[in-house]
């Protein structure tokens, strides 16, 4: 039994980063990528695989092959091809962001071929792939026990958990991503408030202060602080937020599970709302408000002045004094 080697399919940001880290840790790595392996990887010792069938010859049984490819039908295609090349007892690990229900199905299908399957949630981003990631594994005990020694080498201290049976790894990672969305939304809304204060604030210093000892200190806050330091007006990013849609699955799951997740669900809705440059949803609200209350279409200085100088505002200002 060899626990010092593995194969990886997909040598992009995550798969390639983990392969590089493994090579630095003196593990033996065989890798396949449709576009070919980067020269840096082969120079570091990666055994480049030109076709999936070569994994059988280049790795010792029981073989461990990690997949870091986009979620979707492509995963099924690779699993079908790979399962025809490997032997009974080998382990295939999906480290991407596949849906947990698909992972349960894939586990059953591969079990029929006497192959083990582990769904592996992977967190830490590109930097984690290069310096130590966080792994959440779902699968049967034997399969997870086979891959655990390798994953502990590639993880930060404490950054490995056998979360549960097949599907659990990707479910836990999906919940993780939902929490991530809600945290980012909260930080972003707080940042927005800082920019709206009626006197100039040293936002750079505030963010830096919050990074040290505050209850909300976090890697996400570190990232925002760095971005603000580099570009105080955030001119470079647009307000269009792109994502692959995995957290949409979580919102649908929560509805079926009758589990209320308003913060996560609203963060997803806000993300989607950021993309509507025409703001059709806002136009609909304007139309309805005009219909029931005669509220103006668009900007109206009289209404804006009432908002700024209204009784509620006066009470809040008097308390502030």
**pTM beyond 0.85, yes or no:** yes
Same domain, 57 and 105: yes
Domain termination site, one of 110, 144, 165: 165
Q: Are residues 54 and 156 in the same domain?
A: yes
CA distance 145 to 80: 24
**Residues annotated as part of the active site:** 173, 180
Residue 282, pLDDT > 80, answer: no
Judge if 159 and 31 occupy the same domain: yes
CATH number at residue 100: 3.40.50.720
Q: In percent, how much of the chain has pLDDT > 90?
A: 77
Examine the domain organization and report whether 248 and 309 are in the same domain. Answer: no
For residue range 11-27, list pLDDT tens digits in order.
999 999 999 999 999 99
In this prediction, residue 2 carries a pLDDT of 46
* Distance from C-alpha of 257 to C-alpha of 262, rounded to nearest angstrom: 14
Higher pLDDT, 236 or 47: 47
Residue-range definition of the domain harbouring residue 67: 5-165
Total domains, the chain: 3
pLDDT tens digits for 259-270?
999 999 999 999
| Claim to verify: residue 94 and residue 191 sit in the same structural domain | no
Same domain, 123 and 259: no
Q: What is the pLDDT of residue 277?
A: 66
Q: Where does a domain end: 115, 142, 165?
A: 165
Calculate the alpha carbon distances from 165 to 60, 70, 131, 179 in Å.
Answer: 26, 22, 28, 22
pLDDT per position as a tens digit, 71-86 = 999 999 999 999 999 9
Do 285 and 267 fall into the same domain? no
Domain end residue (candidates: 108, 136, 165): 165
- Residue 246, both tokens: 């995995």
């Amino acid at each position: 039994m060899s626990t010092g080697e593995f194969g990886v399919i997909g040598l992009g940001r995550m798969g390639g980063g983990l392969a590089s880290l493994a090579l630095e840790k003196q593990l033996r790595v065989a890798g396949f990528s449709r576009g070919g392996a980067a020269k840096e990887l082969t120079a570091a010792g990666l055994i480049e695989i030109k076709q999936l069938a070569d994994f059988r010859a280049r790795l010792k049984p029981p073989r461990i092959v990690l997949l870091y490819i986009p979620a979707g039908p492509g995963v099924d295609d690779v699993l079908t091809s790979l399962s025809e090349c490997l032997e009974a007892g080998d382990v295939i690990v999906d480290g991407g962001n596949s849906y947990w229900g698909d992972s349960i199905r894939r586990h059953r299908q591969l079990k029929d071929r006497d192959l083990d399957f582990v769904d592996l949630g992977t967190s830490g981003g590109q930097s984690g792939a290069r310096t130590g990631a966080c792994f959440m594994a779902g699968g049967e005990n034997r399969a997870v026990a086979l891959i655990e020694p390798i994953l502990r080498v590639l993880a930060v201290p404490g950054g490995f958990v056998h979360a549960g049976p097949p599907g659990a790894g990707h479910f836990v990672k999906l919940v993780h991503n939902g929490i991530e969305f809600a945290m980012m939304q909260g930080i972003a809304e707080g940042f927005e408030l800082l920019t709206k204060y009626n006197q100039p604030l040293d936002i750079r210093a505030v963010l830096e202060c919050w990074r040290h000892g505050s209850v909300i200190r976090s890697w996400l806050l570190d990232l925002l602080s760095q971005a603000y330091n580099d570009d105080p007006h955030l001119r470079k990013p647009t307000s269009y937020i792109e994502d692959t849609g995995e957290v949409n699955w979580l919102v649908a799951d929560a509805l079926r599970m009758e589990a209320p997740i308003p913060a996560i669900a609203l963060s997803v809705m806000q993300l989607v709302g950021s993309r509507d440059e025409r703001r059709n949803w806002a136009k609909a609200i304007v139309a309805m408000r005009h219909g029931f209350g005669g509220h103006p279409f668009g900007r109206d200085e009289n209404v804006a002045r009432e908002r700024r100088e209204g009784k509620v505002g006066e009470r809040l200002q008097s308390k502030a004094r």
